[in-house]
Amino acid sequence: MNIQHNIESERMSFWEKIYLPEIGRGLALTFKQMFKPSFTRQYPEEKWIPTGSYRGRPVLVLEEEGERCVACGLCSRVCPALAIEVRAGETDKVKERYPEKFEINMLRCIYCGFCEEVCPEEAIIMSKDYELVFTDPQDAILGKDKLLIPIAQLQDRLEYLRQYR
Amino acid sequence: MPQIIIDGQRIEAAPGQTIIEAALHAEKTIPHFCWHPGLSVAGNCRMCLVNVGFPKKAADGQPEMDASGNVFVQWGPKLSIACATPVADGMIVDTEGQRTEHAQHAIMEFLLINHPLDCPICDEAGQCKLQEYAFKHSNGKSRFIEQKNHKDKRVPLGPNVLFDGERCISCSRCIRFADEIAKQPALTFVQRGDHVTIQTFPGMEFDSPYSMNVIDICPVGALTSIDFRFHSRVWEMSFTNSICPGCARGCNVKLGVRDNELQRIEPRTNMHVNEYWMCDAGRLENYHFVNEERIAEPMIKGMQSDWNSAIAATADIIKAYKPSEIMIIGSSRGTNEDIHAIATFARETVNTHNIDFIDHNDPSFADEFLKLADRTPNHAGAIALGLRSNDAVTKDNLSERIAKHQIKVIIAVQEDVSAYASSVEYVIAIASNANPTTQSASIVLPASTYAEVEGTFTNADNRVQLIEPAVTTKENERHMGMKMSRWDKLGAFNDRWTQGERRNSRPTWNILSGISAACGNPMNFSRAEDVFNHIALHNQQFNGMSYALLEEYQGLKLGKASEPEAKSVVYESHVLKPQV
């Protein structure tokens, strides 16, 4: 008959078949790791702080005079996941347009950073915030109250954009 | 007929035409800012500079040829503006060559010197001519490093128009519009050189009833609508072709819809009706009632109900009375389809001649240009489809007949008949908006507005024109070819912008065919087009019409479906490009 035999148990030697030396080698490796420096982190007590190049939750830059955003709607247009909804309103300031409503649906957001790239005012940027947990889909829609972050907290990302964009 | 060659394409031009007009008729647009086919020629933006030449002729009068048989062209010493150069036989025009392109780049750089480049704030962004040409006809570079001029911003020129001097490129379209079309010469240039700006004459206000057209023709965002400002970006709206229901003129319009809400109305070119224009009242008065104070559900005796029981209750009332005791008050606000259904319902289902409609004439609204005294869009259609009968109860003798207890039931379509409500036993209201009648009516059936239905209006010139649905209701959600913006189309149930109200309204013809079926006389219409095809088949004046033909010819005149007016070249100054 045209059947080839290539069975594992036929290929293995006697010592390999009883497994004991292999178990010993495995235990030795584990034992060795115990004395090496540890790479794991005690999250959430111990947190990782990303560098400026990290693309976390998109946020709006809040300056002293108010938000930078002029509600041009380009982020909303470019967003491939339709996560952003902007509604503009009029103010008496020199920048006559402001976002009356600015909502990002974090269940839709894919962190691609297109909104940051297209923004003509550098008003929406990616933050370092990666802890996004929601218990209700409606909570995942972040409004202006959660999106506006003071510019002082966003210096790393702005510096990164200045250098590499 | 002079023959000219534009970019190698031979074009038959009419004598006296300018190059830009001849090109437009051959469906070729030469870049321009200040030229508008509806206005006089100013020639001040210089964007339409083209290279014009003639075949070089030898001493014997024959064109000179090179070895391979190509004609030698004697180009002009300078470029010419296509908007002011009349065509001449044999003229050769180059709109794409290096020389023309160089001039276009220079003009764009020049126009952008003092332009604030605040596109993120500007309402025009997305349909701006300057923005479009900056991509198409500019090298994108500026050598201007000095301080830009600052001019007045947010200056109201009139009650509806806001002017931003920094964005203005001084094309003078608005000035010419005010002088020539609105006939209110209120605007003028002041100052000189790069300080030039536009102002109203002292003590004057640009408050013409047509003032808002300058917003559409302004090639940049210098003139914006006070009413619309910042409501939506253009690319966030879908634009659906419709007809203005404000008066019997039937101006062609586009309805801008976002989040299932009518945001703005703007004119659409139809050379046979409104050309490029429409009145301010048409824009401002005809979107609130689509968005607000709507009757969203059928109601029986003031209690919310559903369609089946409301229609059954209506049919029960109709069956319980003699035909002569029922009066049907139609409305020339409805489409031809609605009116046909009302007439059929009255004559065949109820079997009565008590049918009429109320005129809405307002002589103070009329003027010599577009506005007409008749404030309903379909008066001619109502007459043509027999909504008025002279031999029975009409609205003129209605109160008298009611007094003699001859009328016991009034079915009112889109009309306020609350004056008679107390003297009859039942009022059945088919209405889209709350009014005194709907508050007291026994049964209220929510009707769709003009922005939510497919249908036709017949204007004062007997021109039948097509309207398409722009706003979604529960009834038209699956309408084929409904235009929707990216957000409206792809939004899901948990997106907040999709939470706008879907009203449970139906077109009037649909409601009446439902009642008719409940009374045992089904009309067998399932779409508005079925109703129209039925009208076209049985009504002499509509013979030969169809939705496809109405769309193709931008409307057909009653009784003249076989001889439509010539299709005109549609000039759109600047519109949002179709989304891909």
Average pLDDT, chain B: 92
Tokens encoding B508: 């009037």
Interchain CB contact of A153 with B (< 8 Å): no
Q: Which of B68, B83, B111 is the last residue of a domain?
A: B111
Q: Which residues of A touch B119 (CB under 8 A)?
A: 72, 120
Residues 13-52 of A with CB under 8 A from B: none
Minimum distance, in Å, between the CA of residue B120 and any CA atom of chain A: 5
Size of interface A-B (CB pairs under 8 A): 52
Residues 105-124 of B with CB under 8 A from A: 119-121
CA pair distance B413, B417, nearest whole angstrom: 10
Instruction: Choose among B142, B139, B86: nearest CA to B117.
Output: B142
| Residues facing residue B344 across a β-bridge | none
- A101-113 pLDDT per residue, tens: 999 999 999 999 9
Nearest CA in chain B to A72: B120
CA pair distance B507, B511, nearest whole angstrom: 6
Verify that B201 and B94 share a domain, yes or no. no
Q: B154, A96: Cβ pair inside 8 Å?
A: yes
Percent of chain A with pLDDT over 90: 81
Minimum distance, in Å, between the CA of residue B223 and any CA atom of chain A: 15
CA pair distance B469, B502, nearest whole angstrom: 14
Q: What's the confidence (pLDDT) of residue B580?
A: 44
Q: Which sign, positive or negative, has the C-alpha torsion B237, B240, B241, B245?
A: negative
Minimum distance, in Å, between the CA of residue A157 and any CA atom of chain B: 22
| B455 close to B326: Cβ distance less than 8 angstroms | no
Verify that B195 and B96 share a domain, yes or no. no
Give me the CATH number covering residue A126. 3.30.70.3270
Verify that B151 and B202 share a domain, yes or no. yes
Q: B497, A85: Cβ pair inside 8 Å?
A: yes
Omega prior to B185 cis, within 30 of 0: no
| DSSP codes of every residue in B277-297 | ---HHHHHHSSHHHHSSB--S
Band the pLDDT of B85: cuts 50, 70, 90.
very high
Q: What's the confidence (pLDDT) of residue B529?
A: 95
Instruction: Choose among B309, B268, B199, B274: nearest CA to B463.
Output: B274
Residue B294 inside a domain? The answer is: no
Longest dimension (CA), chain B: 99
| DSSP codes of every residue in B350-416 | I----EEE---B-GGG--SSS--SB-STTHHHHHHTT---SSS--TTSHHHHHHTT---EEEEES--
H-helix or E-strand containing A60? strand A58-63
Tell me the one-letter amino acid at B53: G
Give me the CATH number covering residue B403. 3.40.50.740
Interchain CB contact of A159 with B (< 8 Å): no
- B189-235 pLDDT per residue, tens: 999 999 999 999 999 999 999 999 999 999 999 999 999 999 999 99
Give me the CATH number covering residue B102. 3.10.20.740
Among A70, A85, A141, beta carbon nearest to B121: A70
Q: What is the pTM for the complete model shown?
A: 0.90
Q: What's the confidence (pLDDT) of residue B489?
A: 87
Tokens encoding B363: 């002589």
Domain count, chain B: 3
Instruction: Choose among B446, B248, B457: nearest CA to B337.
Output: B457
Minimum distance, in Å, between the CA of residue B35 and any CA atom of chain A: 29
Minimum distance, in Å, between the CA of residue B232 and any CA atom of chain A: 7
Verify that B90 and B133 share a domain, yes or no. no
Q: Which of B230, B255, B273 is the last residue of a domain?
A: B230
What is the span of the domain harbouring residue A133?
A: 58-164
Residue B372 inside a domain? The answer is: yes
Q: Which sign, positive or negative, has the C-alpha torsion B562, B565, B567, B573?
A: negative
Q: Looking at B97-106, B157-166, B566-575, which range is the least confident one?
A: B566-575
Q: B496, A85: Cβ pair inside 8 Å?
A: yes
Instruction: Choose among B383, B387, B372: nearest CA to B509.
Output: B387
Interface test with A, best of B121, B127, B150 (most A CBs within 10 A): B121
Nearest-5° angle of CA A88, CA A89, CA A91? 135
| Residues facing residue B190 across a β-bridge | B197
Percent of chain B with pLDDT over 90: 75
Among B233, B490, B495, beta carbon nearest to A73: B233
Q: What's the confidence (pLDDT) of residue B417?
A: 86
What is the span of the domain harbouring residue B199?
A: 121-230
Phi and psi at A21, nearest 5°, equal: -60, -35
Eight-class DSSP state of B315: H
Verify that B190 and B210 share a domain, yes or no. yes
Q: Which residues of B touch A89 (CB under 8 A)?
A: 230
Among B154, B230, B233, beta carbon nearest to A89: B230
CA pair distance A102, B145, nearest whole angstrom: 35
Residue B559 inside a domain? The answer is: no
Among B120, B125, B495, beta carbon nearest to A121: B120
Residue B14: alpha-carbon gap to chain centroid? 30
Minimum distance, in Å, between the CA of residue B167 and any CA atom of chain A: 14
Percent of chain B with pLDDT over 70: 98
Verify that B350 and B380 share a domain, yes or no. yes
Please, which contacts does A76-81 make with residues 24 or more away whose CB atoms are closer than 8 Å?
Answer: A76/B236, A76/B487, A77/A118, A77/B233, A77/B235, A77/B236, A77/B486, A78/A114, A78/A115, A78/A117, A78/A118, A79/A114, A79/A115, A80/A110, A80/A112, A80/A114, A81/A108, A81/A109, A81/A110, A81/A112
Tokens encoding B13: 């031009």
Domain count, chain A: 1
3-class state of residue A87 by DSSP: strand
Question: Which value, in Å, is the radius of gyration of the alpha carbons in chain A?
Answer: 27
Verify that B320 and B182 share a domain, yes or no. no
Q: A121, B229: Cβ pair inside 8 Å?
A: no
Interchain CB contact of B154 with A (< 8 Å): yes
Q: B235, A73: Cβ pair inside 8 Å?
A: yes
Q: Which residues of B touch A82 (CB under 8 A)?
A: 486-487, 490-491, 495
Nearest CA in chain A to B120: A72
Verify that B413 and B308 share a domain, yes or no. yes
Cβ atoms within 10 A of the Cβ of A94, count? 8
Q: Which residues of A touch B232 (CB under 8 A)?
A: 88
Residue A151 inside a domain? The answer is: yes
Nearest CA in chain B to A106: B495
Among left, alpha and beta (phi > 0; psi -120 to 50; other), residue B208 is: beta
Nearest CA in chain A to B123: A72
Q: Which residues of B touch A108 (CB under 8 A)?
A: 495
| Residues facing residue B55 across a β-bridge | B73
Residue B371 inside a domain? The answer is: yes
More confident residue, B429 or B63: B429
CA pair distance B168, B165, nearest whole angstrom: 5
Separation in Å, CA B523 to CA B147, B153, B414: 72, 59, 21
Q: A85, B236: Cβ pair inside 8 Å?
A: no
Nearest-5° angle of CA B128, CA B130, CA B133? 105
Q: A77, B233: Cβ pair inside 8 Å?
A: yes
More confident residue, B91 or B392: B91
- B28-70 pLDDT per residue, tens: 999 999 999 999 999 999 999 999 999 988 888 888 888 787 8
Interchain CB contact of A88 with B (< 8 Å): yes
Rounded to an integer, the average pLDDT of B86-105 is: 94
Rounded to an integer, the average pLDDT of B154-158 is: 94
Minimum distance, in Å, between the CA of residue A90 and any CA atom of chain B: 7
Eight-class DSSP state of B476: T
- A118-154 pLDDT per residue, tens: 999 999 999 999 999 999 999 999 999 999 999 999 9
Residue B406 inside a domain? The answer is: yes
Interface test with B, best of A76, A94, A108 (most B CBs within 10 A): A76
Verify that B103 and B169 share a domain, yes or no. no
Interface test with A, best of B150, B164, B497 (most A CBs within 10 A): B497
- B110-142 pLDDT per residue, tens: 999 999 989 999 999 999 999 999 999 999 888
Residue A117 inside a domain? The answer is: yes
Verify that B307 and B431 share a domain, yes or no. yes
Among B121, B235, B486, beta carbon nearest to A97: B121
Verify that B306 and B182 share a domain, yes or no. no
Interface test with A, best of B258, B489, B494 (most A CBs within 10 A): B494
Q: A105, B497: Cβ pair inside 8 Å?
A: no
Residue B550 inside a domain? The answer is: no
Tell me the one-letter amino acid at B501: E
Q: Strand runs (DSSP E) across B56-123, as ranges? A: 73-75, 80-81, 92-94
Q: What's the confidence (pLDDT) of residue B280?
A: 96
Interchain CB contact of A122 with B (< 8 Å): no
Q: Which of B214, B230, B246 is the last residue of a domain?
A: B230
Separation in Å, CA B95 to CA B9, B51, B140: 11, 7, 19
Residue B534 inside a domain? The answer is: no
Q: Which residue has the tokens 């929510």?
A: B446
Dihedral, B180, B181, B182, B183 alpha carbons, nearest 10: 40
Residue B521 inside a domain? The answer is: no
Rounded to an integer, the average pLDDT of A13-18 is: 88
Tell me the one-letter amino acid at B562: S
